[in-house]
Chains A and B, each alone.
Chain A
Amino acid sequence: MFVYADNAATTSVSKTALDAMLPYLTENYGNPSSLYSFGQKAAEALQEARETVAACLNADPREIYFTSGGSEADNQAIVSAARLGARKGKKHLISTKFEHHAVLHTLNKLEKEGFEVTLLDVHEDGVVRLEDLEAAIREDTALVTIMFANNEIGTVQPIAQIGALCREKKIPFHCDAVQAAGHMAIDVKAMNIDMLSISGHKFHAPKGVGALYARKGTVLTNIIEGGAQERGKRAGTENVAGIVAMAAALKESCEHMEENAAKIIPMRDKLFAELSKIPHSKINGSLEKHVPGTVNMCFEGIEGESLLLMLDDAGICASSGSACTSGSLDPSHVLLSIGLPHEVAHGSLRLSIGEYNTMEEIDHIIETVPKVVSYLRAMSPVWDELEKGQRPHLI
């Protein structure tokens, strides 16, 4: 049985998205910047897509800028706020310890340019505290950037409260909503979000397309210079087919959000319930504030990459925050940020479920994971020491 349980990494393109995009690869391949009607057909499709994406976020179409994906949107939002802040003498940026690298690495870059960065603690439950944010805000804070939902552990942040606080303090608020868009309701107006990043391939559009929402009046800095596309803020001939697909996929996901969640949550909860029966396992992140599909757990005494390879042999696609899967010496910064010891974080497993998964597939995972964990523990000197009491159990 083949089970794709890595929907937080990417998703399949839905039939709706594929059907919507195909005409823009074949018969309607014109350049939206061309004057003739053939090109203008593509421009119309672009405009329609912009309206659709805006409607899904409760934004104005003129506030949507199409990008190559979530990373580019994150980069542009942060750099824009930093440049604007610097002009006003504000060089302090606030974020969290467990943001995506698209955010963290952009902040690192700005730090080297002389900005000061405060990364908020996300506590053991993987949720930012409003009081921590309030305490971190300074006179010279130029931006608060906090993700909607974490990509590894799936915890959801109090975005509406953060937005309200930032608005009150008149600080621009950017939200990386890559893991939330299409899966959770987003209302940029009600949530007081100034900038927001989304990525098509996380909700059944193709890879390589995303969007940045920037509230009217936000000053954007270009990351890509060139032509006047995207109102001069993002050069390069638009990925028309990709954008059309993203709009169709987002609309479909938003229209079926409750229905999808009702299908996904019982599968996720069954995984949590059954895999928690494995001795010395741990669920990572608060279950109360959680995206529907993400399951992240640690199993003591084993290492994540060998777990993934064995699951792959059983037809299961999953991911892990172990160092070996990242190619670095340290396990995932997300798992460390919620206080997991290194040796525990190495034994992590992320399963991310989507509406295309079935309960039969979940049962296959539930049948397979305990066997693989037992097998790897049987050859693990760490587990041997834990069992003999020579090493204390950490979970």
Chain B
Amino acid sequence: MALYSEKVMDHFRNPRNVGQIDDADGVGEVGNAKCGDIMRMYLKVDENQVITDVKFNTFGCGSAIATSSMATELIKGKTIQEALELSNKAVVEALDGLPVHKLHCSVLAEQAVRAAVKDYYDRHGIAYDPEDFREMDEDELHEHVGH
């Protein structure tokens, strides 16, 4: 059996929405280099709070790149509210599953989206509950996925 599903390999080999957005409305970065994965997500948001463009940069393993790519696909064209509802589970399902020891990558992808939205809120003076945007440290990330 291959390590990754066909979908994961497709998103790894042909990642969607790679790059940066110079005039982004929100940028979020999660993870750290010491632990071997960092995701940075850029959002372009219109006046109706619709995400019109999204790009990512990722340092990490195959599943880190694939989950970033899938997360961008899942939120592109959606509203900010919908993006906040994106769960790591949805990312995993859309990728036809991930190995157990790679599930934290999907949490990181979810966290990257949230961090970018928080930055968008901050830049635009939109009020929010800080508890909704608490960052997980790496240990919590791994605990969150039960490994």
CB within 8 Å of B: which residues of A? 301-306, 309, 313, 322-325, 327, 329, 331, 341-343, 346, 378-384, 391
Q: B21: CB under 8 A from chain A?
A: no
Instruction: List B contacts of A313 (CB < 8 A).
Output: 13
Sample of 7 A–B contacts (CB below 8 Å): A305-B60, A309-B9, A309-B62, A324-B102, A341-B34, A343-B36, A382-B38
Q: Mark B10-34, 1 if CB is under 8 A from A, else 0.
A: 0011010011100000000100011
A342 CA to B60 CA in the complex, in Å? 13
Contacts A313-B13, A343-B33, A343-B36 supplied; 11 other A-B pairs, CB < 8 Å: A303-B37, A303-B61, A306-B12, A306-B64, A322-B61, A329-B36, A329-B142, A342-B34, A342-B36, A343-B34, A381-B29
Interface: B101 (CB within 8 A)? yes
CA distance A37 to B75 in the complex (A): 75
Nearest A residue to B32 by beta-carbon distance?
A: A343
In contact, A346 and B138 (Cβ under 8 angstroms)? no
Minimal beta-carbon separation of B75 from chain A (angstroms)? 18
Q: How big is the B interface, by class?
A: 20 to 34
Chain B residues lying within 8 Å of A303, measured Cβ to Cβ, are 36-37, 59-61, 64
B91 at the interface (CB under 8 A from A): no
List residues 48-75 of chain B with CB under 8 A from any CB of chain A.
Answer: 56-65
Q: Specify which chain A residues have a CB less than 8 angstroms from the CB of B76 in the assembled complex.
A: none
B42 to chain A, nearest CB (A): 10
Does chain A have a CB within 8 A of B114? no
Contact assessment for B62 and A306 in the assembled complex, using a CB-CB cutoff below 8 Å = yes
Within 8 Å CB of B29, what residues of A? 381
Given contacts A313-B13, A381-B39, A381-B40, contact A302 B34 (CB under 8 A): no
Inter-chain contacts of A379 with B (CB < 8 A): 15, 18-19, 56-58, 65
A302 contacts across to B, CB distance below 8 A: 59
* B60 contact set on A, CB distance < 8 A: 303, 305-306, 324
- Interface residue B126 (Cβ < 8 Å from any Cβ of A): no
B127 in the interface (beta carbon within 8 A): no
Q: A381-B38, A384-B57 are in contact. Are A346 and B62 (CB under 8 A)?
A: no
In contact, B65 and A381 (Cβ under 8 angstroms): no
